[in-house]
Chains A and B, each alone.
Chain A
Amino acid sequence: NAGVTQTPKFRILKIGQSMTLQCTQDMNHNYMYWYRQDPGMGLKLIYYSVGAGITDKGEVPNGYNVSRSTTEDFPLRLELAAPSQTSVYFCASSSTVEAFFGQGTRLTVV
């Protein structure tokens, strides 16, 4: 069972660069989420999706974009990387109310 798969696991970006964090799930879940985790701050919701073609902002969406063209994939796009986006990013999916998490992407912006 692959579950939720995130790539890459680690990445260093320079200020102003762009990148896409990939997330895919094989559980046919409708709901998918992107969180960022900063030390001592818990997880903050960036964006979420309730199904293919539908996305919505979470608590901290600024500087990010998402798309959901298929049920399986939910990529997160950083257009102009800033040091404030240094964080660990988690993708999750859920069928109804139980969320399953990927292993995380540790992103450093320098």
Chain B
Amino acid sequence: AQSVTQPDIHITVSEGASLELRCNYSYGATPYLFWYVQSPGQGLQLLLKYFSGDTLVQGIKGFEAEFKRSQSSFNLRKPSVHWSDAAEYFCAVDWDNYGQNFVFGPGTRLSVLP
């Protein structure tokens, strides 16, 4: 069955430290892949997306993600976390690449220590 997993429910990092949030999907083909961020009480904002081509994609707010086909992963990274990055992060997959079948992972909550 198709699924999106984010193994870490909650991550705490110190401000200035590096960050990696994990995302794995199970599917035969390569879907379109996304990372969204949700600040408290807010809707979701797109950080970055991967459709094809270069497997390292750059997004907003200094985030990047790397697609690894062999591992069915699309991990989100940031070299130096800021206190304002504290939020919930969702990996999402569009299985049929036509925008009709978005599936979101359960989310990872990021806390940032001063």
Q: Which residues of A contact B (CB under 8 A)?
A: 4, 31, 33, 35, 40-45, 48, 50, 90, 92, 94-104
Contact = CB atoms under 8 A, between A and B. Distances in A.
Contacts of A50: 100
A104 B43 contact: yes
16 contacts: A4-B43, A31-B100, A42-B105, A42-B106, A43-B90, A45-B102, A90-B44, A97-B32, A97-B94, A97-B99, A98-B34, A99-B102, A101-B36, A101-B45, A104-B41, A104-B42
A103 B42 contact: yes
A101 B99 CA distance: 14
A40 B99 contact: no
Contacts of B41: 104
Given A43-B104, A90-B43, 5 more contacts: A40-B107, A42-B90, A45-B102, A97-B97, A103-B43
A31 B99 contact: yes
Contact of B106 (A40, A96, A101, A102): A40
A101 B100 contact: no
A101 B43 contact: yes
Contacts of B34: 98-99
Contacts of B90: 42-43
A94 B101 CA distance: 12
Given A43-B90, A103-B42, A98 B102 contact: no
